[in-house]
């Protein structure tokens, strides 16, 4: 039997990355142009996300990588000033409702999120202006906030 989402959230350590992030949307043609120039790639030591679906390519990069990438973005859609919060709690694929629980905590404080998952952990982006409120909302809910 798998752990439930609330138990995992209570046992999680919430880790805040020190960097500020940008979320970028490029069309598929612009994505191909970016791929053709290795100088526009994120640093391999930094945290980043690239997600391609049938409508767009979404890129999440920190400030230094965004400054490097910016010359190749053209008229891409960009939203900046996000902070990355990671839940350091390994989860199996059968855990149900973890992001719903996270979202509920922050919705109660009027904070919107951009959630995403890696193989074993879940992450959210919140606006820098909402960071203090998000951390306050999670105090007493997660094991540790750092």
Domains of the chain (ranges, CATH numbers): 5-18+82-145 (3.30.2130.10), 20-80 (3.30.70)
- How would you classify the pairing of strands 57-62 and 114-117? unpaired
Residues 61-100 pLDDT 10s: 999 999 999 999 999 999 999 999 999 999 999 999 999 9
Q: What tokens does 120 get?
A: 């074993």
What is the helix (H) or strand (E) element at residue 59, kind and residue range? strand 57-62
Please say whether the beta carbons of 141 and 105 come within 8 A. yes
Residues 96-145 pLDDT 10s: 999 999 999 999 999 999 999 999 999 999 999 999 999 999 999 999 89
What distance in Å separates the CA atoms of residue 62 and residue 46, rounded to the nearest whole number? 8
Please say whether the beta carbons of 47 and 62 come within 8 A. yes
What distance in Å separates the CA atoms of residue 82 and residue 62, rounded to the nearest whole number? 9
49 to each of 95, 108, 116, 144, how far by Cα in Å? 22, 27, 9, 25
pLDDT at 1: 46
């Amino acid at each position: 039997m798998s752990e439930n989402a609330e138990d995992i959230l209570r046992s999680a350590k919430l880790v805040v990355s020190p960097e500020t992030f940008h979320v970028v949307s490029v069309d598929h043609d612009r994505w191909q142009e970016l791929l053709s120039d290795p100088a526009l790639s994120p640093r391999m030591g930094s945290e980043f996300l690239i997600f391609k679906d049938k409508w767009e390519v979404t890129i999440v990069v920190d400030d230094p990588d965004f400054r490097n990438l910016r010359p190749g973005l053209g008229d891409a859609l960009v939203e900046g000033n996000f902070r990355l919060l990671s839940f350091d709690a390994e989860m199996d694929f059968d855990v149900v409702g973890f992001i719903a629980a996270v979202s509920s905590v922050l919705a109660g404080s009027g904070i919107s999120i951009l959630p995403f998952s890696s193989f074993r952990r879940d992450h959210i982006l919140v606006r820098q202006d909402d960071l203090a409120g998000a951390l306050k909302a999670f105090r007493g809910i997660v094991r540790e906030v750092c």
